[in-house]
Every structure is written in structure tokens, then in C-alpha cells.
Structure 1
Amino acid sequence: MKLYKTKKNCGKLLLGILAFCTGMILLTGCGSSSEQKQNKNEETAEENKEEDKVQIGLTVDSFVIERWIRDRDVFVATARELGAEVNVQDAGADVKEQISQIEYFINKQVDVIVVIARDCGALSDAIQKAQSAGIPVISYDRMVNNANTDLYISFDNRKVGEIMAQALVNALPQGGDVFMIQGSSSDNNVQMVKQGFDDMLADTDLHVVYEANCDGWTAELAAGYVEEALEKYPHVKGIMCGNDDIVSQVVQVLAENQLAGNVVVVGQDGDLAACQRIVEGTQYMTAFKPIEDLARKAAKYAVEMGSGKGVAELEDVTETVNDGTYEIPSCILEPTAVTKENIDKVIIEGGFHRRDEVYLNADYS
């Protein structure tokens, strides 16, 4: 009888243990379900937060040119500080690819598109598609022609040409022959630079005897142009180059002909290599454009426009520039002529390049 009771009690105990375990499992299951629900809610909230961010599509001509890398980095960093996300696309110097990228941004329904144009005359249809979809478009640095973009932000490109010409006038008061090795003929900025340059030289003793354009901003083409020009005009006094990348090719040819430092060469952009050449004496001047200011302003405008702010409400958009058909609201920044005399103040003290980098091959003690 005692044995029976013991077995009976053991059975009750076993049933109790089983019931307790089952309850714990059920409680654990409820806890897991609750945690899963909470995690899902947190994920949804995070997704909604991401969706609330202004989405900017940035398509860049290519990153072969040094300055576009800096533009991109500052633009993206500024936009993120302002709570936006930037989808950067590299067109790889291909117009069709850039058109495809604009269409991709349209399909993704980004809030604003920023374009550093490969070909200023080939993107108007794609831009108009974006605008038809209700997406504002910013022409960055280079005006997209005949497209009626919502905003244009750049430097005073006509003044870039003027200060290039003025630098040659200052360095060559006796006058002489000048070459113009310009950038891409499809870049609207190139035409504006040329206008400023030509007008400034009009009543001087400097005479342009040779002109060429580096299609697609392919700097390597400049070497052949300079070689050809030197055969016809070996006593050249000055060379105007579309940018500092082109200068690098021009100076190399001059060096091969024992002319580096004897011919006054000017460019634009303030590339590190250009600043090094200036202190070394093989490049006279670069038209420096504070691109970090440009990138920061453009990012701020993009975020504001993507948030629904009208162009008329944007700070410092105080003029218009004609794109060939339309007057485009514009923000225009000023370039600065940088020579050996002011390179320390403008470039180094301004934080654009470090002193040890600029004077890498020259004495600055």
C-alpha cells in the first residue's frame, strides 16, 4: 500500500513538472513573440525614418578629373549632415550612360537630381523627363543647355577666362604669341571662359595664333596639339590651358623641348600638381575656384529643394543665366587668380592643400 501511494505521488509530481515546463514554454513563446513584434516595429520605424530622408541622385561626368572627387566627397558629407542620402553615379565619361543614370533616378523616384554634365547639349530630353515626373534638377558647375533646369550653381566662368588673360598680360608686358588649348567644345563653360579670355586680350599685344579643344576633356590630347603648335610657332610666349590637368600635358611637352619655365602657362582648378608647378616655376597661374564652397552650397540647395522648398526661397540665388533657351535661376561664385605670390595665403592658409604637399619639390623654409 505504501508502494502504491509512493507511485501515485510520483505520478502527481511528474505531472506537475510537465505542467510547469509546458507553462514555461508557453511563457517563453509569448516572450519571443513579443520581442519579435517589438523588433519588427523598430525595423519598420527605422525604414520609415530612412524613407523620410531626402533622396538625392548625383550623376558625375567621370572621376578622372581630380576635382570631381573632392566635389563629390564634400557634397555627400554635407548632404548627410543635413539628414539626406546621396546616390552617386559615375557616368565614366559616357553620355549615354549619364542619360541612363538620370532615367534610373527617375524610376527610383528620388527627390532631386544633381547633374555634372558630360555633354551639356545632350541631356535636355532626360532632364525634361525628370521634371515631368516632378523631380527638380540642378545643373552643377556645367550648365545643361536648353533644358530649363530648376537651378544652376557654378563659378563665374567668364571671369575665369578674364583672369587667365590678365595673368598672361601681367607676365608678358612685351606681348607675343599665345596658344589656347581648351577643354571640351561640348562644355558650355568652355565657351564662357573663351569669351572672357578673348575680350580681355582684345586690345593687348598678345595674339592667339593657335587654338584647339580637348574633346571630352581628354588631357592627353593636349600633348599632340602643343607639339603641332610649336612646329608652327616655336617662339610662343604664353599658353592658356582649359584646366590644370591639361597643363600637366602641356608642361611635359615644354620640358621635352627645354621650354618649361620659359613659357607662361595658365590653367584653372587649383589641383595639387598645379600648385606644385607654380612654386617650382613651370606654371604661372591657376584660376582657383573654392569648390568646397560650391559643393556645400549645392548640397544645401539640393536638400532644401528635395524637401519642397522653392528656388525663389533659396539664399544667394540672385541672378539668372541663359541656357540657350531659358533663363535659369543661378548662384554664381567668384574665382581667384593664384600665383606664386599669393599661393600660401589662398591655398595653404585657406586649407585647400597642405604646405608640405604644395612644396614637395621646392624649398619653403
Structure 2
Amino acid sequence: MAPGSQFTVAGVTLATWSFCGFRLVRAGVDRDPAPRRRATLRLSAGCINGVCAANDGLAAGSIAALKANKSTPLSPVTGQDAELAAVRLIVSGDQYMTVHKPFGSEAAAAGAMALAAARGQRLDGVTTRRVKTRSGAEVPAVLLTPVPVILATIKNTVVKDGVYTLEQICPRHSLATATRPG
């Protein structure tokens, strides 16, 4: 992967790189959440083959910027957190994918770890792995598998897990009439 440029616009750090002949953008955020929601990415039409955003809010901002720059066809844009707005953007064909992290699994792991810690027990009994921190220290961890959400998997992921209903996702339309992105 050939590195490209990195710059910050309204609190959003953008890094571009080339991979197999494609020009990609990765959007990350500074710590202050206010500017990232208002961020407008100034992208040249036709030169971005994809956007891998740190979250669904940045993905939505990237989609708006691509549309404002009349980028057609719209480059694939991904996000994470499975926000309702992102799932709707997937249904409309504007966002390619988001990432769903099932709350039940996260809550069960966090609860088991909290209970063990409160009882003064070692976390190794409830964790599945150890990971290294930036300082190099190893800490017990539970690593769960994130679930990709695309148009074809909406019903079997966020709807099946009870995160959203079909009526919330498509108040006036059905998933059967949804279009494929880009």
C-alpha cells in the first residue's frame, strides 16, 4: 500500500493512499466531536475510489461531500456503529456498509468482567485473550467479532438482534425496493 497525503479539515483527519490502483480515503476524528459532525470533505470528483470512515457520522459527511462534488457514480463508503441513519443510507444505496457490534455479547462480557473485578478475582477466568496496550503491557480482553451490515444482511443482523425494526429503517418503503449502492 503506497502512502499518500494526510491532512485535517474541521477536526477530521484524512489520509489518502493507493492500493491496487485505487485511491482510497480513511477518515478519522480528533477528540472534539462537534466539528466532525459539521465536517465537509473537499474531495475532487472522480478521484476517490472509496471511503473507509471511522464511524457512521463521518461516513454520512463523506457521502454529503462526495455528492456536493458531484462524484458519480458514488464511491463505496463504509462506517461503523450501525447507526439508524447509516442503515437508512445503506437502504437508499448511498452507503455500502456499516459494522454492527451486538450489544448483548458486549454487555455480557462487560458484566462478567465487572463482577469478577468487584469480587477481587482475576479477569483471566472470564476473558478469552490478552492484548498489548500502547505501553506494551498485556491486559486481559474479550474480543468479539464485529458483524458487517450490507443491504442483503440488514434483516439478519440489526433487525434480528432487535436493534431496529423494519418500520424504523424504512418508514415509507420496504427493503424489497431498496437499491444497491454505487
- Common topology (TM > 0.5): yes
% identity of equivalent residues: 23
Query: Superposition pairs for residues 75-114 of structure 1, below 5 Å?
Result: none
Relative to 1, partners in 2 of residues 1:357 and 1:212: Cα closer, same or farther, differing over 3 Å? closer
Please say if 1:323 is aligned against 2:138: no
- CA–CA distance in 2 between the matches of 1:364 and 1:307? 47
- Relative to structure 1, the CA distance from residue 346 to residue 320 in structure 2 (aligned partners, 3 Å threshold; closer, same or farther) is same
* Distance in 1 between residues matched to 2:111 and 2:72, nearest whole Å: 40
Aligned residue for 1:257? Answer: 69
**1:216 counterpart residue number:** 31
| Residues in 2 aligned to 1:342 and 1:235: alpha-carbon distance in whole angstroms | 29
Question: Rg larger in 1 or in 2?
Answer: 1
Contact 1:319 1:331 in 2 (8 A): yes
**CA drift at 1:234:** 4.2
Q: Is the 8 A contact 1:280 1:362 kept in 2?
A: no
Counterpart of 1:14 in structure 2 is none
2:79 is paired with a residue whose SS is: strand
Number of aligned pairs?
Answer: 167
**Equivalent residue, structure 2, for 1:358:** 169
Distance 1:241 1:276, change over 3 A: same
Q: Which amino acid aligns with 1:305?
A: A
C-alpha distance in 2 between matches for 1:219 and 1:289: 24
Query: Does the Cα contact within 8 Å between 1:243 and 1:269 map onto a contact in 2?
Result: yes
- Larger relative helix fraction: 1
* Match of residue 119 from structure 1: none
User: 94, 103, 118: which one pairs with 1:291?
Assistant: 103
Out of 342, 358, 362, the residue aligned to residue 153 of structure 2 is 342
Query: For residue 321 of structure 1, what is the amino acid of its counterpart?
Result: V
Counterpart residue identity of residue 128, structure 2: T
Residues 272/260 of structure 1: CA separation in 2 closer, same or farther (3 Å cut): farther
* Residues 279-301 of structure 1, C-alpha deviations (whole Å, 9 max, x = no match): 11110001221133212320222
Contact 1:212-1:225 at 8 Å conserved across structures: no
The question of whether the paired residues in 1 share the 8 Å contact of 2:55 and 2:81 is answered with: yes
Aligned ranges 1:138-217 → 2 under 5 Å:
204-208=20-24, 213-216=28-31
| Corresponding position of 2:119 | 307
SS in 2 for 1:332: coil
TM-score scaled by length of structure 2:
0.75
Unaligned runs of 5+ in 1: 1-176, 186-193
CA separation of 1:290/1:357 partners in 2, compared to 1, >3 Å: closer, same or farther?
same
Q: Give the distance between the partners of 2:149 and 2:31, measured in 1 at CA.
A: 26
Deviation at 1:180, TM superposition (A): 10
- TM-score scaled by length of structure 1: 0.40
Which residue number corresponds to residue 333 of structure 1?
144
Distance 1:352 1:254, change over 3 A: same
The Cα offsets for residues 317-353 of structure 1, whole Å up to 9 and x where unpaired, read as 1221110220111110001211101111111122221
Cα gap change, 1:318 to 1:300, in 2 (>3 Å): closer
- Does the 8 Å contact 1:286/1:338 carry over to 2? yes
Q: Which residue is 1:278 aligned to?
A: 90
Which has the larger strand fraction? 2
1:248 to 53, 57, 60: 60
Q: Given the superposition, is the C-alpha separation of residues 351 and 266 from structure 1 closer, same or farther in structure 2, using an over 3 Å criterion?
A: same
Distance 1:283 1:217, change over 3 A: farther
Q: Look up the SS of the partner of 1:341 in the other structure.
A: helix
